[in-house]
Amino acid sequence: MTFEVSPVAEVKTSNDLKTLGVNRQVPVNLRQSGDNGSRMLISQRVRKSPFWHLSQEAGCWCYEVYNHMYHPRAYVPYEEGGLLKEYEYLTEHVTLWNVAVERQIQVKGPDADKLVDLAITRSVDNLKVGKARYVILCNEDGGILNDPVLLRPAEDEFWFSLSDTDIAMWLQALNVKNEFDCTVYEIDVAPVQIQGPKATALMVDLFGEQIHDVPYYGLFEGEVNGCSVIVSRTGFSGEAGYEIYLRDASANAERLWYHLLDAGEPYNLKVIAPGHIRRIEAGILSHGQDMDMETNPYQVGLGWQVDLNKSQFVGKEALTRINSEGVTRKLAGVKMGGEQIDWYPADFYLVYAENEMEPIGYITSAFYSPTQGCNIGYAMLPNSFSTIGTQLEVHLPEPYAGGRVPAEVAETPFKPPEFLGTGLAQTGRKL
């Protein structure tokens, strides 16, 4: 495999950082130093999920740290097609993902709904028992702390299925401060995802025809090979998909995993990493890349998540002001030239106006899209450069270009997801 190494000199001064990271306390890491083949230390300081050894058996050869856990990032060997081959399995067959890093934080008790309603920007009243919702949590400045899937398995119980930040401590702090009558704990539940066009057929084999009755973002309680699970009709791929939340995961991981491999064999099931190529196509954002705690919802197309009619939630005052004043920078979809980006970017690739010397923005996510026939991604840009059709240039490192390539702001999603969520239905475009 060839690793990329980018020139360090692309961002030269603190003024460059200030310009690209307007109103940020800590600038994004724009030192374009690439990856020289460094190896990650596997130690007991970072937690291994119940599926860690099973991912190794399935051929995982690259990991990242996510939520203080080791997260699989590649299975198919690079010389056999790598992540683009994994994309093929995802879009043509069915795939199994180890996503135990979505740590499950349970809020339970008589006041569970009050704590959850304070923490999220949407109204908890709209989340009924047996349903799930995509939600965001913001800090007092309106910065996005996390964008989990929120499940409600019981009237007095919620699970936050997290993206990459430690929200358990945040919820515990809110609970202590407000003296709600509920508890906040991480529980021994670990999810896997079943994603791809043959996902529903496989789920019918596992749970019967009743799986057809589960609506988008609906929940279903059942068993797999004697293991108690909750199923949600959700996923991170844009393809048809489900998540299976395994109870008592530390003890039951093998019973579930091996049964899924056997059941999936007729459908050409393949264990792969979460499909970032497909999620970029579908307009799905990744916390820590496309947004973080210094990014507000209005910058990244998530304004529809903010219910300013709610009486109270953390960040309401700031978000009310931001909504009134508007934002100066926002995330936009881009198509760009260069050789196929077939590996996770090791840097934020810098964006320039045509024929200009100073960078105006940076790429947050990028990959080659087989359906678009070019490299695609998201870029944080000044408003004046975020209009669809705006011509730009992006600096791509070797082996993709070793210099600037032409780029254009494009409508998102690049390839619509299987199901149109609330944001896309309301806005007509993701960003």
Which sign, positive or negative, has the C-alpha torsion 75, 81, 83, 88? Answer: negative
Q: What is the largest CA-CA distance in the chain?
A: 63
List, in sequence order, the alpha helices (H) in 153-248. Answer: 167-178, 199-207
Contacts 24+ apart (CB under 8 A), 108-111: 108/154, 108/156, 108/157, 108/158, 108/182, 108/183, 108/185, 109/156, 109/180, 109/181, 109/182, 109/183, 110/156, 110/181, 110/182, 111/180, 111/181, 111/182
Q: 265 is written with which tokens?
A: 């064999």
Report the candidate in 298, 409, 400, 402 with the shortest Cα–Cα distance to residue 353. Answer: 409
**Pairwise CA distance, residues 377 & 409, whole Å:** 10
Residue 245: strand pairing partners: 191, 230
CA 136 to mean position of chain CA atoms: 12
User: Does 281 carry a binding-site annotation?
Assistant: no
Q: Classify residue 48 by its DSSP letter.
A: P
Specify the 3-state DSSP secondary structure of 216. coil
Q: Which amino acid is at 176?
A: V
CB 10: neighbour CB atoms within 10 A?
19
Torsions phi, psi of 265, nearest 5?
A: -55, -45
CA separation for the pair 1, 366 (Å, rounded):
19
Residue list for the binding site for substrate: 243
Residue list for the binding site: 243
